[in-house]
Chain A
Amino acid sequence: MPPYTNPPPQGGRGFWSLAAGIDRWTVLVVGLAMLLALPVLTVFLTALQPPGEVWRHLADTVLADYVLNSVTLMIGVGVGTLLIGVPTAWLTATCEFPGRRGFEWALLLPMAIPAYIIAYTYTGLLDFAGPVQTFLRLTFGWTRQDYAFPEIRSLPGAILMLALVLYPYLYLLAQAAFLEQSAAVLEVSRSLGAGSWRRFLTITLPLARPSLIAGMSLVQMEALADYGTVQYFGVSTFTTGIFRVWFGMNDATAAAQLAALLLLFVLTLLVLERLSRRQARFHHTGQRTQRPPRLRLSGWRRWLATGACLLPLLLGFLIPAGQLIVWTWRTAPQVVDDRFLELAGHSLGLAGGAALLILLLALLLGYGQRLRPRPVVRLAVRSAGLGYAAPGTVLAIGVMLPFAAIDRNVDSWAREWLGLSTGLLFSGTLFTLLFAYCARFLPAALHSVEAGLTRIRPSMDDAARALGAEPHGVLWRVHIPILRGSLLTALLLVFVDALKELPATLILRPFNFNTLAVRAFELASDERLADSASFALAIVLAGIGPVILLSRAISRSDHAPLP
Chain B
Amino acid sequence: MPPFLELTDLDIAYPPRKVIREVSLIMHCAGIGCLLGPSGCGKTTLLRAIAGFEPVQQGLIRLEGVELSRAGWTLPPEQRRIGLMFQDLALFPHLTVADNIAFGLRGWKGSERRARVSDLLRLVELADFAKRYPHQLSGGQQQRVALARALAPRPRLLLLDEPFSSLDVTLREDLAREVRCILLREGTGGLLVSHDQFEAFTFADEIGVLQEGRLRQWDTAYNLYHRPADRVVADFIGQGVLLPGQVGEQGRVNTELGDVDGKPPVGCVAGDDVEILVRPDDVIHDDASPLQVEVAERAFRGAEFLYTLKLPSGARLLCLAPSHHNHAIGQRIGIRLDIDHWVMFRRNRAVSCVEAPPVPAS
Contact = CB atoms under 8 A, between A and B. Distances in A.
A463 B86 contact: yes
B104 A3 contact: yes
B55 interface: yes
A8 B88 contact: no
A563 B77 contact: no
A3 B153 contact: yes
Given A14-B74, A18-B73, A457-B88, A466 B83 contact: yes
Given A462-B84, A463-B86, A464-B103, A482 B92 contact: yes
Interface string B39-83: 000000000100111010000000000111000111111111111
Interface string A1-17: 11111111111001001
A10 B80 CA distance: 14
A462 B66 contact: no
A4 B82 CA distance: 10
A563 B93 contact: yes
B344 interface: no
B107 interface: yes
Interface string B285-315: 0000000000000000000000000000000
A4 B74 CA distance: 16
A278 interface: no
A466 B88 contact: no
A467 B74 contact: no
A7 B55 CA distance: 18
A481 B93 CA distance: 9
Contact of B66 (A4, A7, A464, A481): A7
A462 B103 contact: no
Given A457-B90, A462-B86, A468 B78 contact: yes
Contacts of B52: 465
A542 B154 CA distance: 51
Interface string B81-106: 11110111010111100000001111
A562 to B, nearest CB: 6
Contact of A2 (B67, B77, B81, B92): B81
Given A459-B86, A460-B92, A482-B94, A465 B76 contact: yes
Interface in B126-150: 149-150
A470 B76 CA distance: 9
A137 B29 CA distance: 100
B14 interface: no
A481 B94 contact: yes
B168 interface: no
Contacts of A7: 66
A467 B90 contact: no
A198 interface: no
A481 B104 CA distance: 17
B108 interface: yes
A19 interface: yes
Given A1-B112, A457-B88, A467-B153, A462 B78 contact: no
B92 A468 contact: no
A3 B67 contact: no
Contacts of A67: none
Nearest to B55: A18
Given A1-B108, A11-B73, A464-B103, A478 B78 contact: no
B104 A562 contact: no
A291 interface: no
Contact of B90 (A2, A17, A459): A459
Most buried by A among B68, B78, B104, B150: B78
Interface in A526-563: 562-563
A86 B45 CA distance: 51
A482 B74 contact: no
A281 interface: no
B108 A477 contact: no
Contact of A4 (B53, B79, B149, B152): B79
Nearest to B152: A467
A3 B92 contact: no
Contact of B108 (A3, A462, A469, A478): A3
Given A6-B79, A18-B72, A463-B86, A482 B93 contact: yes
B99 to A, nearest CB: 10
Given A1-B112, A4-B153, A462 B90 contact: yes
Contacts of B75: 8-9
A563 B90 CA distance: 10
Nearest to B70: A14
A467 B93 contact: no
Contacts of A464: 92, 103
A133 to B, nearest CB: 59
Given A1-B108, A2-B153, A462 B88 contact: no
Given A2-B153, A14-B73, A460 B90 contact: yes
A478 B92 contact: yes
B189 to A, nearest CB: 15
B86 A17 contact: no
B95 to A, nearest CB: 8
Contacts of B86: 459, 462-463
B106 A468 contact: yes
Contacts of A473: 78
Nearest to B109: A1
Contact of B78 (A459, A469, A482): A469
A462 to B, nearest CB: 6
A459 B47 CA distance: 13
Nearest to A461: B90
Contacts of A3: 104-108, 153
B154 to A, nearest CB: 6
Contacts of A4: 78-81, 153
Most buried by B among A7, A8, A467: A467
Nearest to A469: B78
A464 to B, nearest CB: 7
Nearest to B92: A478
B228 to A, nearest CB: 33
A11 B66 CA distance: 15
A470 B67 contact: no
Contacts of A465: 52-53, 76-78
A3 B48 CA distance: 21
Given A7-B66, A11-B73, A17-B76, A466 B93 contact: no
A467 B87 CA distance: 16
B360 to A, nearest CB: 52
A9 B70 CA distance: 13
Nearest to A460: B90
Contacts of B76: 17, 465, 470
Interface of A: 1-11, 14, 17-19, 457, 459-460, 462-470, 473, 477-478, 481-482, 484, 562-563
Q: 6 nearest interchain CB pairs? A: A467-B104, A14-B73, A459-B90, A466-B84, A463-B90, A465-B77
13 contacts: A1-B108, A2-B81, A4-B81, A6-B79, A8-B75, A19-B72, A462-B51, A463-B150, A464-B103, A465-B53, A467-B78, A482-B94, A562-B93
Given A8-B75, A459-B90, A466-B150, 12 more contacts: A3-B105, A8-B67, A14-B72, A19-B72, A457-B88, A462-B51, A464-B103, A466-B84, A473-B78, A481-B94, A482-B92, A563-B93
